[in-house]
Amino acid sequence: MNKIVQCVPNISEGKDLDKINYIIEPLKNQDGFKLISAEPDKDYNRTVITLLGDPEKMIIPLINFFQRALDKIDMRTHHGEHPRMGAVDVTPFIPISNITIEECVEYAKSLADHVSYMYQIPVFLYAKAATNPSRINLPDIRKGEFEGMKEKIQDPLWKPDYGKPMIHETFGVTAIGARIPLIAYNIDLSTADEKIASTIAKAIRASSGGFQHIQAGPAFLEEKGFVQVTMNILDFKKNPIYRILETVRMEAKRYHVEVKNSEVVGLIPKDALLDSIKYYQQVLGIPFDKNMSIEDITRFSIEYLQIRDFDSLKIIEANL
């Protein structure tokens, strides 16, 4: 069986579509992996690129992609809403199937070694690839951004994992790492009262004592006229979707508020949905088939988790 990872490089260019297309060219029509999407954001002045497939096959195209970003992006003149420290700002490898997180760390190191050696770009390993605890969280590495990195990188505490302790003049620095897939998941409530969404978010999120792999907050959807509990599920094995959804439903009851729908932003691994379908089918006494088709996974997810605006292509494995 093929090793499958999701790889999501972010580049510091979100406005000039010609430039973006030139930079991502080496990632198109390659053997062994697919370019799923490139989503530029003008306000952020940043593009999020999603690759899916065999990491072995991604390394050389990614090296070429780094070279093109180096050629076309000058961080000295870059402005945008999103914090950033390099032309390619961050590149995570995310295990999807037939691959461990440890193997993803090795691919991250291999890419880091090549780009630092070939282009004199200093690289910080982050997340599961981090070489010390202060480098696990990307925002800690990125603090000070491109402008502050010239000085920060000379601090022995911030010596890069690859390359010399000096920034690349136009490229800056980059972070490469491995992390488990996170799910961007939102739950719609039958109220416009943001306080209720905020109180419920506090009940479930790690930073207020709730589930350890949940980041959550309130959001008011002005056009739709209701609030959401908006969240990242950082580890869906330990904090499965159904558990979060049912806890939110239980908390909402005290306000006589209902869960209207839920929403998955971006891609979601098949297993995250299967784990929750299994819960509901066990409760309902329906035999659970872990080999069900992508179509069935899609249908049951919509039925049990009340996911709106959902289709099979939102499931990572449907894109393979």
Catalytic residues: 82
Using the minimum distance from each CB to a copy of itself, give the nearer residue, 282 or 293. 282
DSSP per residue, 270-282: HHHHHHHHHHHHH
Judged by CB under 8 A, the residue of 238, 296, 309, 311 near a copy of itself is 238
- Provide the pairing of β-strand 226-233 with 46-53: unpaired
Q: Which stretch binds a copy of itself (CB under 8 A): 9-17, 22-30, 241-249, 289-297?
A: 241-249
Using the minimum distance from each CB to a copy of itself, give the nearer residue, 59 or 206. 206
Using the minimum distance from each CB to a copy of itself, give the nearer residue, 215 or 312. 215
Measured in residues, the chain has a length of 320
Shortest separation between residue 289's beta carbon and a copy of itself, angstroms: 16
Whole-number Å distance between alpha carbons of 16 and 54: 29
Could you say which residues in the range 177-236 bind a copy of itself, by CB under 8 A?
203, 206, 208-213, 235
> Would you call 263 helix, strand, or coil by DSSP?
strand
And the tokens for 108? Answer: 């991250």
User: CA nearest 84: which of 125, 141, 123?
Assistant: 141
Whole-number Å distance between alpha carbons of 27 and 61: 6
Whole-number Å distance between alpha carbons of 172 and 145: 9
Give the number of residues in contact with a copy of itself, rule: CB under 8 A. Answer: 24
Using the minimum distance from each CB to a copy of itself, give the nearer residue, 279 or 310. 279
Whole-number Å distance between alpha carbons of 176 and 9: 9
Shortest separation between residue 189's beta carbon and a copy of itself, angstroms: 16
77 CB-side CA count, 13 A: 3
Cβ(52)–Cβ(320) below 8 Å: yes
User: What element of type H or E holds 244?
Assistant: helix 241-253
Q: Which stretch binds a copy of itself (CB under 8 A): 43-51, 76-84, 249-257, 306-314?
A: 249-257
Single-letter residue type at 70: L
> Would you call 169 helix, strand, or coil by DSSP?
coil
Judged by CB under 8 A, the residue of 110, 247, 306, 312 near a copy of itself is 247
Using the minimum distance from each CB to a copy of itself, give the nearer residue, 115 or 272. 272
Whole-number Å distance between alpha carbons of 246 and 55: 36
Cβ(126)–Cβ(141) below 8 Å: yes
Residue 286 makes contact with a copy of itself by CB under 8 A: no
Shortest separation between residue 252's beta carbon and a copy of itself, angstroms: 10
Residue 118 makes contact with a copy of itself by CB under 8 A: no
Residue 279 makes contact with a copy of itself by CB under 8 A: yes
Shortest separation between residue 282's beta carbon and a copy of itself, angstroms: 4
Judged by CB under 8 A, the residue of 250, 265, 286, 313 near a copy of itself is 250
Judged by CB under 8 A, the residue of 60, 118, 265, 283 near a copy of itself is 283
User: CA nearest 263: which of 185, 182, 201?
Assistant: 185
Q: Which stretch binds a copy of itself (CB under 8 A): 43-51, 73-81, 165-173, 248-256?
A: 248-256
- Site residues for a copy of itself per CB under 8 A: 203, 206, 208-213, 235, 238-239, 243, 246-247, 250-251, 253-256, 279, 282-283, 285
